[in-house]
Amino acid sequence: MNGGPIVTDVERAIRDVVIANRILAHEGVVDAYGHVSVRHPRDPTRYLLSRSLAPGLVEGGDVIEFDLEGKAVDGDPRPPYLERFIHGAIYEARPEVQAVVHAHAEAVLPFTISTTALRPVVHMASFIGARLPVWDIRDNFGDTNLLVVNMAQGRDLARGLGGERVVLMRGHGFTAAARSLPEAIRIGVYMPVNARVLAEALRLGEVKALSRGEIEAHASMRPDDPAMWRAWEYWAMRAGCGDLLTART
């Protein structure tokens, strides 16, 4: 929220990618691995993503522009994330998606290897949507190292996601598709919370989940809602990058 020099929409998008990386690291959603991207604000066939680097260390200069096939647009020679195809394939399949998070958050992992379905049970997690498909790379690609390392695998994952907000990846983690970076971060932060609450509630007995109407009512919050911004701002401050926040328009 500084009043410094004018910032272009691209510069702001890059700053927001940095903030998003730092928040995910600070809140424990990602560790040395995991990544977050935003669709390019001027060219929907490109997205902005860090070079291969732990999210907690990402700075503006690390953010690279990729085309949807995962090629660095300006030929940046620095090693990219092996799994950047997750991002391009989802932007390709879902024009309305503006931000993608991929993470291995521990609390979500048990649900990726279980037949017990993950579903939203607390209102902060309504954004994950009513249905969370589980995608298993083994179904179509046999024994791999589980990483999504080419467009064929990325597109298969995007098909697994379908029209939903989040897809679980067996033995690996999850990927979320959101309408904005603050929404993507919100999903990232509350996915593990919701998973822990559901797992614990299942041990207590029968669970009263959110109804479809409740999920839709809450998840329809606009991505620029003040309550959404409040969390984005707070998590950025906690992550030590409050100085990167730009004034809301």
Residue numbers of the site for its own copies (CB under 8 A)? 31-33, 52-54, 56-57, 79, 82, 104, 106-107, 109-111, 113-116, 121-124, 126, 136, 138, 142-147, 170-172, 193, 196-197, 199-211, 213-214, 216-218, 220-221, 226-227, 230-231, 233-235, 237-238
The H-or-E segment that residue 154 falls in is helix 151-161
Ramachandran angles phi, psi of 150, nearest 5°? -155, 170
Report CA torsion sign: 162, 166, 169, 175.
positive
Q: What is the closest distance, in whole angstroms, from the C-beta atom of residue 71 to its own copies in the complex?
A: 18
Q: Please identify, using beta-carbon distances, which residue of 44 and 110 lies nearer to its own copies.
A: 110
Q: Please identify, using beta-carbon distances, which residue of 88 and 192 lies nearer to its own copies.
A: 192
Q: Is 173 left (phi over 0), alpha (psi -120 to 50) or beta?
A: left
Helix (H, G, I), strand (E, B) or coil at 10: helix
Q: What is the closest distance, in whole angstroms, from the C-beta atom of residue 48 to its own copies in the complex?
A: 19
Q: What is the closest distance, in whole angstroms, from the C-beta atom of residue 102 to its own copies in the complex?
A: 13
Q: What is the closest distance, in whole angstroms, from the C-beta atom of residue 233 to its own copies in the complex?
A: 7
* Known active-site residue 214: no
Beta bridge partners of 178: 99
- Residue bearing tokens 């998070």: 101
Q: Please identify, using beta-carbon distances, which residue of 4 and 205 lies nearer to its own copies.
A: 205
Residues 221/233/62/150 CA torsion (nearest 10 deg): -30
Residue of 11, 65, 69, 83 marked catalytic: 83
Active site residues: 83
